[in-house]
Amino acid sequence: MSLLSVRDLTLSINGTSILRDVAFEMREGDVFGLVGESGSGKSMTALSVMQLLPSGAQVSGHTALAGRDLLALSEADMCEIRGGEIGMIFQEPMTALNPVQTIGDQVAETLMVHGVADRAEALRVARDRLDRVGLTADRFKLDRYPHELSGGQRQRVCIAMAVALRPRLLIADEPTTALDVTTQAQILDLLRGLVADEGMGLLLITHDLAVVSGLADHVAVMKDGAIVEAGRTESLFRTRAHPYTQALFAASSHAPVRPPRAAAAAPVLEVRDVVRAYPLSRTGFFQRPPPLRAVDGVNLIVGEGESVGLVGESGCGKSTLTRAILGLESLQGGEIRLGGAPVVAGRVPAALRRRMQVVFQDPFGSFNPRHRVARLITEPFHLAEGAVPEREEAIDQALLDVGLNPDDKHKYIHEFSGGQRQRIAIARALILRPDLIVLDEAVSALDVRVRAQILDLLSDLQERYGLSYLFISHDLSVVRVVTDRVYVMKAGKIVEDGPTEAVFERPDHPYTRALIAAAPRIPEAWQGDRKFGT
């Protein structure tokens, strides 16, 4: 018998249609992947099963857990099901725990609200479950508070909470999206182990095909509130019957065509022995810890027309280094040169500053919402000091360059989608024809298909204008396909660098090896079967 059976599930919220006739079957002890891009309705499907939908939701159809129709149950019965029969974990572990309650109490609460244990017994079970998810008693006492834990550790607490009563089904909604790649690998391992040990079904919701390929037995692909294709993971990935699946697949491993590069070009950007240290606040009345060296003796070079990658996990210092390169952070040691001229925070002459521009990650926070596109992309113009006589032509050209229409210059930023905003951000960076563009996680927030288009655009612009890119990202798969050389950063230091292919093929440093091993991949063998599509 199937564990979870969803039929004709239709949902609208305040009149907007969200889900249309969603149907799938999940077997006992199965790992079922639900993949799709943002807004495809995959999270809402899970919340419909849990009946935790936002107010204003209108839902119809059938969601049956082991033959019991959940949609027909009363709220009191659903409270029994939630946490008892179905556990759920969410994307953002940093905010998913009550900040004023200890982790022990929060795990024990699952048992206590279901009336299966008194407080002492519940705490004992909580201890046991926390041990099971890898938070052992010696380091993670029950009276720790969430703010004392890292993101990965908090996600483990959430998992312990969700599986405290050994539910038959665990729903994991993008459980590793907010985590670093090595942490992601550990959490996925943990989930895999729990499923095997406890015979629990896992409904894994994710945008990442590679994560699904490594974990799920069955998979369903969602688009615009409906399932377009479903089947066994391997055969679905190998055949890719539906055009949308093909497009997703192609985009996720998309490698833009890049121009061949002459070796040994002159350097555009030189970072030499750079140190950026912050004083820490005092720990006692008299002692102050030594300053935190966020960037600790970093050397990095970007040559003319070259694409250089800088990878590392959150907190490794790559953002600080980025700001230092952009002349926004003062240095405690070393120097940064752009085209031979020193970059000193607060004293970068306009003529130098215009040679370097930046594109940020967040396509929503990157623009002043009160300005029109024309004004947004001409922000760097005051650096030109009258050297851009044909303002209107420059705007039109920049918009055309990034694949937008010159008429778009009269619009406001909220009229554009995420991908279009990123194009506008590139237009702003491009308009003064800089030598170097720093791409700070520039494609990380985009869906795979949009990401592929932006990567093509960047590659095209590089060829046309001879740009150099410094590509900063936590996403190894992207860095691998778009850079010539790569630097790997950890705890403020560069631990390894070299030609991208060489580093990825034969990583030297244990950390690089760990990073590459942790990154989920779709098995090579599944990819060869179909080569058409885009």
Nearest to 448 by CA among 232, 244, 257: 244
Choose which of 15, 67, 99, 386 interacts with another protein (CB under 8 A). 99
Q: Can residue 357 be called a binding residue for another protein (CB under 8 A)?
A: yes
Q: Can residue 161 be called a binding residue for another protein (CB under 8 A)?
A: yes
By CB atoms closer than 10 A (0-12, 13-18, 19+), residue 122 is buried
* CB nearer to another protein: pick between 379 and 460: 379
DSSP state of 381: G
Binding residues with another protein: total (CB under 8 A): 60
Q: Can residue 114 be called a binding residue for another protein (CB under 8 A)?
A: yes
CB 457 within 8 A of CB 403: yes
Phi, then psi, of 522 in degrees rounded to 5: -80, 130
DSSP state of 209: H
Q: Can residue 360 be called a binding residue for another protein (CB under 8 A)?
A: yes
Choose which of 382, 391, 506, 513 interacts with another protein (CB under 8 A). 382
Gyration radius from the chain CA atoms: 25
Q: Taking the complex as a whole, how short is the minimal distance between the CB of residue 266 and another protein, in angstroms?
A: 23
Stretch that binds another protein, among 74-82, 204-212, 223-231, 391-399 (CB under 8 A): 74-82
Q: Taking the complex as a whole, how short is the minimal distance between the CB of residue 56 and another protein, in angstroms?
A: 11
Give the integer Cα–Cα distance in Å for 461 and 365: 24
Give the integer Cα–Cα distance in Å for 1 and 420: 47
Choose which of 26, 59, 81, 467 interacts with another protein (CB under 8 A). 81
Please, which residues have CB within 8 angstroms of residue 322's CB and are 6 or more apart in sequence?
310, 358, 438, 440, 472
* CB nearer to another protein: pick between 16 and 281: 281
Interaction pattern, residues 138-157, with another protein; x per rule: CB under 8 A: -------x-x----------
Residue where the block lists tokens 């606040």? 281
Q: Taking the complex as a whole, how short is the minimal distance between the CB of residue 330 and another protein, in angstroms?
A: 13
Residue where the block lists tokens 């099963």? 49
* CB nearer to another protein: pick between 362 and 508: 362
* CB nearer to another protein: pick between 4 and 88: 88
Residues forming a β-bridge with 494: 489
Q: Taking the complex as a whole, how short is the minimal distance between the CB of residue 427 and another protein, in angstroms?
A: 12
Q: Can residue 282 be called a binding residue for another protein (CB under 8 A)?
A: yes
- 419-438 positions binding another protein, by CB under 8 A: 425, 428
Q: Can residue 366 be called a binding residue for another protein (CB under 8 A)?
A: yes
CB 359 within 8 A of CB 379: no
* CB nearer to another protein: pick between 84 and 312: 84
Q: What are the structure tokens assigned to 138, written together?
A: 């010696």
DSSP state of 281: P
Give the integer Cα–Cα distance in Å for 362 and 444: 8
Q: Can residue 268 be called a binding residue for another protein (CB under 8 A)?
A: no
Stretch that binds another protein, among 209-217, 225-233, 346-354, 391-399 (CB under 8 A): 346-354
DSSP-based three-state secondary structure for 299: strand
* C-alpha 308 chain-centroid distance: 20
* CB nearer to another protein: pick between 116 and 255: 116
Q: Can residue 100 be called a binding residue for another protein (CB under 8 A)?
A: yes
Q: Can residue 170 be called a binding residue for another protein (CB under 8 A)?
A: no
Q: Can residue 52 be called a binding residue for another protein (CB under 8 A)?
A: yes
* CB nearer to another protein: pick between 236 and 454: 454
Residue 10 CB-half CA count within 13 A: 8
Q: Can residue 443 be called a binding residue for another protein (CB under 8 A)?
A: no
Q: Can residue 162 be called a binding residue for another protein (CB under 8 A)?
A: yes
Choose which of 41, 87, 309, 312 interacts with another protein (CB under 8 A). 87
Question: SS3 breakdown of the chain: % helix, strand, coil, rounded to 5?
Answer: 35, 25, 35
* CB nearer to another protein: pick between 114 and 509: 114
Give the integer Cα–Cα distance in Å for 268 and 435: 7
**86-89, strands of its sheet edge to edge:** 86-89, 169-173, 201-206, 31-35, 218-223, 226-232
Residues making contact with another protein (CB under 8 A): 50, 52, 75-76, 79-84, 87-90, 92, 95-101, 109-110, 113-114, 145, 147, 158, 161-162, 281-282, 284, 323, 326-328, 348, 350, 353-354, 356-358, 360-362, 365-370, 379-380, 382-383, 425, 428
